[in-house]
Structure 1
Amino acid sequence: MSKYLLDKFLFTVDRDPELVERYREQPRATVEWWEAEEAGRILGSHLDERSTWLSFDDAEREALATHDYPKLFELGAHPFLTLTLFIAMFERDYAEPLGFQLEYAQRLSGYSLPYPDIST
């Protein structure tokens, strides 16, 4: 399991509006593409530097592919990265203000302190 890679996925997808839409509409294909093409990129590198050892485990891949943000939280994905990406994808589906944020809070309400470790 790599909390770093989960957070890197959430961070990089959230910063590209086209990827946000792609992930919303085709989550499994986007996760597979991202893992194959982008996971190994070194963040902040202006060169095409890559690592070869990073990959999602089955639980991470499935949680990402099914938009299962409670599971991502349980796996240690940073809640702010998860929240901002999923707001970008799903807030528009709610008529009331803060609709998605309220659902997010409700679906994570079963967790109590201490939360899963979010350090990378």
Structure 2
Amino acid sequence: MSRYLLDKFLFTVDRDPVLVERYREDPAGTVAEWERTTANRLLSAHAGEDSTWLAFTDEERAALVAHDYPTLFGMGAHPFLTLTLFIAMFERDHPEPMAYQRAYAEALAHFSLPYPDIST
């Protein structure tokens, strides 16, 4: 399992409005394409300095495809990255102010301190 790769996915998708919409509508296709084209691209490297070994585990891939942020949180994905991405994708489906944020917190309420390690 790679918390780095999970966080990298959440970070890069959240920063691209086209990817946010694609991930909302076609999570399996987005995860598969991102893993194939972006997972091994170093964030700040020059062309040709890519990695070759990074890949999601089956459990990580399934949680990403299912938009299962409680499972991602339990795996150590950073809560701010999941929150900002999932707000971008699903806040519009909750008409009342802060309704999605409250639903997010409720879904994570079963976690108690200490929270899963989010260091990378």
Distance 1:84 1:46 in 2: 28
Per-residue deviation, 1:45: 2.1
Per-residue deviation, 1:47: 2.4
Letter in 1 for 2:68: D
Distance 1:52 1:41 in 2: 9
Listed as ranges, the gaps of 5+ residues in structure 1 are none
Aligned equivalent of 1:10: 10
**Under a length normalisation based on structure 1, what TM-score does the superposition of the two structures give?**
0.98
Aligned equivalent of 2:25: 25
**Structure 1 residues 57-81: Cα deviation after superposition (integer angstroms, max 9, x where no partner):** 0110000000000000001000000
Aligned residues with identical type, % of pairs: 68
Letter in 2 for 1:106: E
Aligned equivalent of 1:61: 61
Q: Could you say what the CA RMSD is over the residues aligned between the two structures, in angstroms?
A: 0.8
**Under a length normalisation based on structure 2, what TM-score does the superposition of the two structures give?**
0.98
**Structure 1 residues 6-56: Cα deviation after superposition (integer angstroms, max 9, x where no partner):** 000000000000000000000011000000110000002242421011000
Distance 2:79 2:49 in 1: 28
Listed as ranges, the gaps of 5+ residues in structure 2 are none
- Report the 3-state secondary structure (helix = DSSP H, G, I; strand = E; otherwise coil) of the residue aligned with 1:34: helix
- Report the 3-state secondary structure (helix = DSSP H, G, I; strand = E; otherwise coil) of the residue aligned with 2:109: coil
